Amino acid sequence: MTSRENGATQLRGYAFIILANLSFAVGWSFVTATEGDFSAWQLILLRGVVFVLALTPWAIRNPRVAAGVNRRLLVLRGLLGTGMMVCLAYAVLLLPLSTATILGKTTPFWDLVFLWVLLSLRPVLSEILLVPVAFVGLLLILVPEGQLSIATVSHTGLLLGLAAGMFNGLEFITLRWLRRDEPTHTVNLWYAGITIILTLPFAIGSPWPDQPMIWFFAVMFGLSSFFGQTLLAEAMETITPTVASVSCLLVPAFATLIGWVVFGQLLSGLELVGITVVLTAGALMQIRESRQRDGLGAAKFRWQK
């Protein structure tokens, strides 16, 4: 592959990851719009059903590909992804949207730790410094006037948001490994199937809403998530877990902009500064991506050495 082709491939990966995070932000906005009429288990179950319905025609045409090659890793990714989604869905229902998405996107911190602990990829100074810088930007988005008190929000929601970030960090590493052998649709089909199996026992016992508009919001959440997960899996073929995890900080930034454009929420100057800081930190992180990409190519888990 020539340097020009490699650069075009990388730009495609960056574009896909940005669009993926925009799709995730739109999806979580639809969750907020359901106003808690669905439980978190029900929302994630419906999301899995939407994925399966969207992918069934492809699976029928490509049964061998859909069956997968690295099935243990496909199952692991499904477990991690489902855990992340359930935790974040509960956090969104218990906390303000911006708060929940920021906690759920503490992924870069977890990602640097997991890459070091699992793969012996020690973080460099730029990675260690840029992640806190990005979170300073997120705090400006979250508390532009310094009025939100941790004492007034759900502690359970805070813990679930942090757990979502942890699961997301492991999910990115697993997804990067899967994209060596598995196509995007195979990864998402297994993800959806495992999600349905895990959430169905907890979802069927709760009452279901009967308002058509609430169901519309839930289905749109599923469709937005499917679009985002497809773009994410495509992007993970070329970008590293660290870049993906830092880029996911765009979700709360996008959520803030959606609140301003769609819901008429006020957008302060500090919030705009915060969004700029997040975008700048994410862009600077790309400088170190080639180092990590080379490291990942030769990396093995500690127990494989």
pLDDT digits (tens, 9 = 90+) for 200-240: 999 988 889 989 999 999 999 999 999 999 998 888 877 77
pLDDT digits (tens, 9 = 90+) for 242-257: 677 777 777 777 776 7
Number of domains in the chain: 1
Q: How confident is the model at residue 132 (pLDDT cuts 50, 70, 90)?
A: confident
Does the residue 5 lie in any domain? no
Does the residue 40 lie in any domain? yes
Does the residue 177 lie in any domain? yes
Does the residue 64 lie in any domain? yes
Q: Which pairs from 147-156 meet CB under 8 Å and 24+ separation?
A: 148/96, 148/99, 153/94, 153/95, 153/96, 153/99, 154/94, 154/95, 156/90, 156/94
Q: How many CB atoms lie within 10 A of CB 94?
A: 19
Tell me if 224 sits within 8 A of 34, measured CB to CB: no
pLDDT for position 6: 62
Q: Which pairs from 276-279 meet CB under 8 Å and 24+ separation?
A: 276/137, 277/133, 277/134, 277/136, 277/137, 277/140, 278/134, 278/137, 278/138, 278/141, 278/249, 278/250, 278/253, 279/250, 279/253
Does the residue 185 lie in any domain? yes
pTM of the complete model:
0.76
Does the residue 3 lie in any domain? no
pLDDT for position 3: 59
Does the residue 293 lie in any domain? yes
pLDDT for position 55: 96
Does the residue 241 lie in any domain? yes
- Supply the range of the domain harboring residue 52: 10-304
